[in-house]
Structure 1
Amino acid sequence: MTDQAVDTGGVRLSGRVAAEYQFLGRTRELKELRADIERAGLDTLSGKKPPRARVLLIAGRPGSGRTALAEELVRQVADRYEDGVLRARLSEPDGTPVPVERAARELLAAADLPAPAGAAADDLTEALRTGLADRRVLVLLDDAAGAEQVDALLPDSSECLVVAVSQGPLTGISDVRPCTLGGLDTKSALELLTGHIGSVRITVDPRAAEGLVEECQAQPAALEMAGGWLAARPKAAVADLAKHLHTEGDEGTPLSRIFRLAYSSLPVPAARILRLLALAPAGLVDPHTASALAGCSVSSARTTLDDFVALGLLRAVESPLPQYEVPGCLHPMLKALTESKDRPGELQLARARMLERTVRLLQSCRTITETDSADAREKLQGMPRSVRFPSPRAAEDWLRIRRPALLAAARAAVADGELDTLARRLMSQLVRAMVAHFGMRAAAPDLYGIHRLVLDVAERRELHRERAAALLNLGDLDAQTGRTADALVRYRAALDAGREANDPYATGRAMESVGGAHLELGDYDRAADWFGRALTQRLARAERADAARLYGRIATTHTYAGRYGEALRGWRAAATGYRKNGDVAAHARALSELARVQEYAGRPEESLRTCHEAVEWARRAEDVRLQAALQLRLADTLEHLGDPASAQLHRGTAERLLGEEAGEAEDGGETEPDQPDQPEQDANACEIRSTSAED
């Protein structure tokens, strides 16, 4: 992007925040927590081996510095855990508990452990426990809403340590080690203020400074805002701020009192931006998000966000791109302000602007990968400079960093229910961008969640074509992860939706997918029947390429069932169809499969002739691996016919071909197996078909 958009040079922090940050206070708490790690647990005292990881609990109100203490503890002891530190946040900014499934998936990804797309929460937590059983890791679970969340994520290894952050006790978890936080000690609180305003104003009136600490109850978040307010007003006395807070009496907590003062001191445009940050997905903000919410320029939004960091109203996230986090302790107050200061229509318009900007960024993020397309380049040049990326790598970095916020934006848009058109466009572009940059396999877990959201919208709006597409995509992902029975249910539902929409593409694809699921389940009769239904539709619509492919799928099914005569007819029909369509490579492969079935059927001479014909077509198609596989098949057939000398020649040819191809191939491939291959499904797991292609 241009410098009006994302500055790839790094997050711009004030010198004090970037260079002089240090953890203050909590010496006693840290000492006790470290001692608790070494202390024998109840199981050890009773002579039993600890069955699970030890849990240390840091409890305190939002704004008490509980997360900062947890991070400092992790920093101090991380070197004891050679397999690293895993982190997960267990509550949304508004306090909604994060589903265990999502938290477990994030931890599995951080630990480089497989997390199958669409797997249930129990399967994911079991995979997490199994994967960490022989590791020594430190797990930080921030902002836990309850004991059940933490309990589900505990490793079954006494070599691991879990540090949980919560507002209250985790009743139900045995042998938990609680550390309840109050305010900072006075010395540390004064040091925190000094870091913001320097030592002069503290030194000239130390009693006023102590009074300010007392008014803030030595809570770190309140002191941060007090320091930020004073730093922005070099001529203001500490005593004035302390007196102002004191005159408010018992109206709310110290945090709410200093927040009201800081908010009321902001210029009107900045105050509006701050309020609207309550709408930021997952509490994560970048300049584009703030710009879209407030309807201002990206550069002014960036400046305002940096000002909020200096005032203690926002946290800068360590990231290659500028990104900020709304403190969880401020989110309820910001939400209350939006509800009281902004009309519902204005808030909905702000959400719509944010989603529209996100759609354009995702469109740009995807389009820049299409470097060979003149249309894509022209389309990219037609976009505003503020949403263009300088390179595919910059686009991928943005997508990876903003991924949690983008997924949260999709969830929020669907939950809203009033912005379904924008939600559908957002999800369409998000899927396409992820597939373009990460690949289908790597993006599959996120795609599964997005397609479920698409299905929710399609069912709510009775959009049958989109419902069919979402069900097909979900079925494909279920099938890829071994949940074939679940995939079959999805495919049947997609067939019904396709028929309701009168969509030939969806119905044909669903019938073929139903057949593929039955084939995977070993029900060959039903598989052949469903493939036949799909073939009838393709033939009626003169879709010759698809018809040829379906002949091959039917032939494969008969081969698995041992019905070689029907399989031979199917492969001959497939080869004829490919030849008429001019698809040389597919024709060669169909002949290869025909030769294989002829060999299974006990017709080695016919197989030999077909193999020779297939080799010639493979040579025309320049398919070296297929040529090598066919040479090996020729060698096997000749050995069966009693000609070992010729067989050896063909094996030598195959080895030469594979040796030449090995230096050029990007991935290894498999030589032709002894059993027929399962053809790939004709699946497009990133389609959301009713959205505009222009989007």
Structure 2
Amino acid sequence: MGTAQGEFGGGGGLRLRVLGPVTAWLTDRQVNPGPPLQRATLWVLAAQAGRLVTKDRLIDALWGAAAPKTAEQSLYTYVAGLRRLLEPERGRRGPFTLLTQSANGYSLARDACRTDAEDFEQRLAEARRFQAKQDLPAWLRELEAGLGLWAGPALGGLPGPFCEAERARLESMRLTAREDYADALLRLGRHQESLDALTALTAEAPLRERPRELLMLALYRCGRQAEALEVFHDTRRLLAEHLGVDPGEPLRRAYELILRADPSLAVRTSGESALPPPARAPHQLPRDSRVFVGRTAMLVRLRALLAPWDGGDPQSVVAVTGTAGAGKSTLAVHAAHAASDHYPDGCLYVNLLGATPGVTRLSSLTLLGRLLRDLGVHAEAVPSDPGEAASMLRDRLLGRRMLIVLDDAAGPEQVRPLLGLPAGNALLVTSRESFAVADDCVQLVLGRMLRSEAVTVLAKLVGAERVAADPAAAAELADLCGRLPLALRLAAARLTENRHMPLSELNSRLRDQRRALHELESGDLAVRASLQLSHDLLAAGPNQLDRAAAAALCHLGVPHVPDATADVVAALLDVPRDAAERTVARLVRANLAEPGEHGRFRLHDLVRLFAMELAERRLSERDRDDALDRVIGLYGTTARLAMKLIDPHRVHPPHEFAGCEQFALTGSADASAWLVRERANVIAVAAQAMASGNSCLARSGAHLIFSFHWPLVFTGHNLDILTLSRKALEVGDRLDDQGISALAHGYLAQGLDHSGRYEEALLHQRAEVALRRTIGDPFSRMRALGNLAVMLTSLKVHEEALSSAREQLRIAREIGAAVGERHALLCVGSAQLGLGDVAAAVAAYTEMESLAREAGDAMHRADALMAMAEVHLVQEDHPSVAELYEKALVLMRENRFRGMEPRCLGRLGQAERLMGRFDRARAYLRETLAVAQGCGAGYWVDFAREELALLDGGRAAPDG
């Protein structure tokens, strides 16, 4: 081939060479276009010359999801540099006419910069026009001129997602042009030159079928028939080893014609196919599965879309998406076989290799070329432009009814040129990626099977007798496999290999998180390998967002939580929340995460196990601990923020959590909802941290629980308080940390007190008081003394309770702790009432209620109302008791103090019974029982049962 490179430097204006090392010329001299990112900026603008490119699009084109905080400022610098390059005579301030700015972005004038990429595309367009006119010498001349512009890999290593995509596009065009060049030589009778070009091309792109078909023809026309046939056998072996597929129909047809030295292989100069088209309608679907169970609703939906019951046109595009191992391909092939009668012109099938390890996924042009060749278009007549090839495909399908099954698509972009086929034809696509954005597409997301379906699959694979012998174990095995077909097949293979292994033994192995994925392996199939591939495709993806999603999946194996949000991902990766949101969306599109409500997502159980393994393999212990500590910081600081919004009067023990962006909460209702949603995650993370051998992490986990104590009290999760406080106490003892031990003793005492286990509660409360006297923190000592007074009052040790409460009151007033003063007055009043001094009790309660009202402390106001109700109970003024408890209940429900409701409801039920209003009493007491059982409030459970026994023992007639 000749070269056109030398001509490029001349002429006026800026001329940019990108088909090789990036260089720039201004008139007749070479100029420096600046650093790599400035050069990339120039290419982005030049590739879209005459159009406005927004700043956001420019930043995304240059950096993708990894844009630094200084991106916009850097962009200004690059634009300024390009303006000096384009219009050096205008100085630094302009005005500039070639690279202009608007409010939204920048625009490069259409004639400001010419590129060799434009020249290359123009040459290819001219070549296609000459090809259509059957002017073969002119076709060859234009191809040679276009290819002569290349001096190396396109865009010379320019950075950024936009340049990466453009580099791939230009390289694909170059390979197609080289195929066309060899094709033109062959059709002009220059067989040896074509052979030389094709030998080099097949070495560079060994899996492209069109060059190998042309190579076979070139060898045959050079009198080397045996070598031509050997190319076919080599190609078949190569495709089987790397792709697991057979050669396409054009290659097979070429082999058959060469084998019998068909006269049609003689040189032709027309654009018509040298190989006769197939006479029958193609039916390329793989064999249907012998074991296909369930998915009934999905199959009915697919059948209705692909073969409408009324005989009308099918849905243009149907995408079956889902996580690895969900059975997408099997379902699609089964549905295609079921609907094939609706497509008299045949069914085509192509594996797009979107998630096939070790091979390059099919390009859009390769896909179009394969489909066109399968429809009888000879390779040399397939256009080299994807748009033109797509137009030809639509023309070939016009008036036909064909089903095209595209298996394992990398995503919508890979099949976008095929969208919009003529009516009557349908495209059935499978992919791990979401197709929600594809035009005129119905997406069916394939999730886990029904348990009954999964058990039936096991029965078919391992034998119905074996499953029937232990149906409970079979159901558990289905759940442990996530009810995913791939995992079920692998579990069945494990059972088949070990015929005497009970299902329960395999279940035991799968319950062990350390070996579960190892058990789900058989031969070259494995759940782990399938998930690893999904991760690796992202990790090696063309843009930063893909790589960020791979990193997120790895980090999501660190916290052992039921579900998560973008805030958690932001903390794990230590990135801004908006970047984390994009990352989560990418995981969802890749079907590695399942979206939920309120911006939440979860990992499928097997994906979660894989992520845990991935974190162990890819992250150092320090990185894992740091990531978990940031999540603890996120939960701890947000829990405190939530409580501040709900009840700013409650005090949390001081602790400095790892700094990170908090959840965004907008008010008390939002805060309460967040506490409910995140409770399970907070508990899981805290327990995980407290079990860690890292002392700093264990401390952070304990303090996370201490920060979540009031939310647990308010929401009535007393059993969690008991369990977690014991774990925190173990941490304090293990680390010899008196501060943690003291807090754990105190919170454990409160939980035991709420459960009615007063003697145990007192032991732990005395332990906290003893530690507080040693530690010397006056606020914590005051708080511990107040809680000791509460425990003593519960046990009716009123003298000591009064002494402890008075000491609490003294310290509170000394240090100016208003919340402590109110609590101390409550404790003083309760002790005085227990000692029979009603007047002193009323005085203390009255002062406390006044202070609580002045401070706006709803919880202490409710406490004061309930305390005054106890005074009226002693005085047997039951109507007043009921009135005060009703007011307290209103306050509790307005402020979501659910954990305090059992006392109110129980006393209301008692008051109603004592007033003879038995139906009302029974309703209150039944509600008491339900709420107290949910809260783990043992005392009030027993109280409600005793009161109901009094009602139901024949001593209480119905109301009225």
Q: TM-score, normalised by structure 1?
A: 0.45
TM-score (norm 2): 0.34
Structure whose alpha-carbon radius of gyration is higher: 2
